[in-house]
Amino acid sequence: MNEKFSSTWILLFCGLVVLLCGSFQLPLLDRDEPRFSRATVEMAEKGNWVIPYFNGEYRFDKPPLTYWWMGVHHWIFGVNEFSSRLHSILATLLVGLWMIYRGKIWVGDQAARIGGLMWILNLQVWQHGRLALADMPMVLGVCLAMDGLWHCIFGDGKQRKAARFWLWGALAFGFLAKGPIVLALPLLVWLALVISKKSRFREIKHFQPITGLIVFLLLIGLWGIPALVMTNGEFGREGLGKHVIERGVSSFNDRSYSPFFYLITFFLSIFPWCLRLITLGKPLLGFRKTNAGFFLFGWFVSPFLIFSFYSTQLPHYILPGFPAFFLLLAKGLSEIRLKQNKLMPWVEIFFSIALLLAIGFGKDFIDPNFPETLIPFLGFVLLSFLWIPWFFLRNFKIFTAVSIICLGVASFFAARTIRAEHLTLRIANVLEGQTKMNEFRYSSFAEPSLVFYLGGPWRFVNEGAQDPNFQNSMQIVRKKPQEETGWQKVQGFNPGRGKRETVWVRLP
């Protein structure tokens, strides 16, 4: 019991250092972060918590749970980057705690504790565990659903009774977070168990599918029916049709497609544990034949199977399988850890030299449109990550803690550098005190961050578009205007495109 409580505090320490450091300074990145955050603001302004709005228009991309959760934090802490991200940070920590306390049913106490730490200490979770998106609440829903699925299949009578409600309630939670992906993963794992004869099809009665489906639909319907009625069915057609089905058959934002995309990005996502993957994987060859091993392997592989055939590809799409993967990896680690006392850090030394060279000379090789001031801090983030597995294998607790603290410090300075370079924040400084004075706002710099940081609505127009209100409007354009007076040049880093850009700002 003491070890479990100790592991809980260690995980919370690691999680808070890794996820909180920089989260207050880091401006909203990409395009979805400001969309989610601003949509929550507009729902609160309208007093309508059923239909999300962004820039004054419907936003049907995701169900409402993330907006609701984010709205609570906006209400408590005010509208800012940290309050917009807090739901992801909490969901990430809850997944880690769930792995410690519930992962033991598959891999045992020691491996569950190790797996929870590995979940927190990897590159993809370091990045996505703090973003104002719907992914981490969805991953939490998947973990809870898989817990219920396991006990419905392999639990005793008393466990199955509680697991049915747990399963269907978790599916509703995950669906309200990010849609139907949370339904697909348990279904694929169950079908794999049936095909492998580790479960029988007739055991479907343990799920009580009719009663469970009613419970699931009832929970979804409390929000879904009013949403469909208020939008005349458009929420369903747009949300499922365009943002789920259409993204599966046609690439979103003209992204290229490769069937090997996730096989490549996966190793970067799980950095630094990928450097010891072969060593840690050997003890799992026998474990995968057990019910628990097969269940976790099926859970881990399912997102690969789904999204490898999905036209729109992003590295974080396979995140729902990461808890299972790190439990499996921790199972292998717990069996070999005591045998690694003579392990030499040749891999770490090689990559450390490479990273130090990149920090020193990287500006000579990267795209000049990328801010070179960011290179040292991102390099030190990777360098801090790099040594964590080796220190952990050698049970060097102090050096492991120092690496994690260095990671937090590097994250803080990286976030501060991005904030200083952020193009939209520089535009906001130019327009300070002016945004509330004018209702006409036009921009060919069509970044959602404008709406979050400068308020709305904005009208995003094509370059050179004309409007009778232009002469009395606030304008932002990408191309240098022909008229020289009244315009101010602003340069900065645009995270939405990952490069420096120049815009011209005109006050009315």
pLDDT in tens, 417-430: 999 999 999 999 98
Nearest-CA neighbor of 497 among 427, 419, 426, 423?
423
- Report strand pairing: 499-506 vs 487-494: antiparallel
- At residue 460, the 3 state secondary structure works out as strand
Token pair recorded at residue 319: 């995140």
Q: Which H helix or E strand runs over 490? A: strand 487-494
- Report strand pairing: 474-477 vs 499-506: antiparallel
Contact 134, 36 (CB under 8 A): yes
More confident residue, 235 or 147: 147
Task: Report the distance separating Cα 415 and Cα 396, nearest Å.
Answer: 29
Contact 95, 140 (CB under 8 A): yes
User: Would you state the pLDDT for residue 6?
Assistant: 83
3-state helix, strand, coil in the chain (%, to 5): 70, 5, 25
Contacts of 109 (CB under 8 A, 6+ apart): 3, 4
Lowest model confidence (mean pLDDT) among 8-12, 182-186, 446-450, 459-463: 459-463
172, pLDDT greater than 70: yes
User: Would you state the pLDDT for residue 436?
Assistant: 55
Task: Report the distance separating Cα 481 and Cα 508, nearest Å.
Answer: 15
Range picked from 220-224, 286-290, 486-490 for highest mean pLDDT? 220-224
Task: Report the distance separating Cα 229 and Cα 64, nearest Å.
Answer: 15
More confident residue, 259 or 493: 493
Helix extents (H) in 155-200? 157-178, 181-195
Exposure pattern of 27-49 as b/e (b: 16+ CB <10 Å)? bbbbbbbbbbbbbbbbbbeeeee
More confident residue, 431 or 355: 355
Q: Which H helix or E strand runs over 253? A: none
Task: Report the distance separating Cα 204 and Cα 280, nearest Å.
Answer: 35
Task: Report the distance separating Cα 39 and Cα 49, nearest Å.
Answer: 10
Calculate the dihedral angle through the C-alpha atoms of 294, 299, 301, 306, rounding to the nearest 10 degrees. Answer: 140
**Residue range 171-194: average pLDDT?**
93
For residue 433, which phi and psi values (nearest 5 degrees)?
Answer: 85, -5
Contact 36, 196 (CB under 8 A): no
Contact 54, 92 (CB under 8 A): no
Contact 247, 289 (CB under 8 A): no
Which pTM value belongs to this model? Answer: 0.93
- Report strand pairing: 53-54 vs 57-58: antiparallel
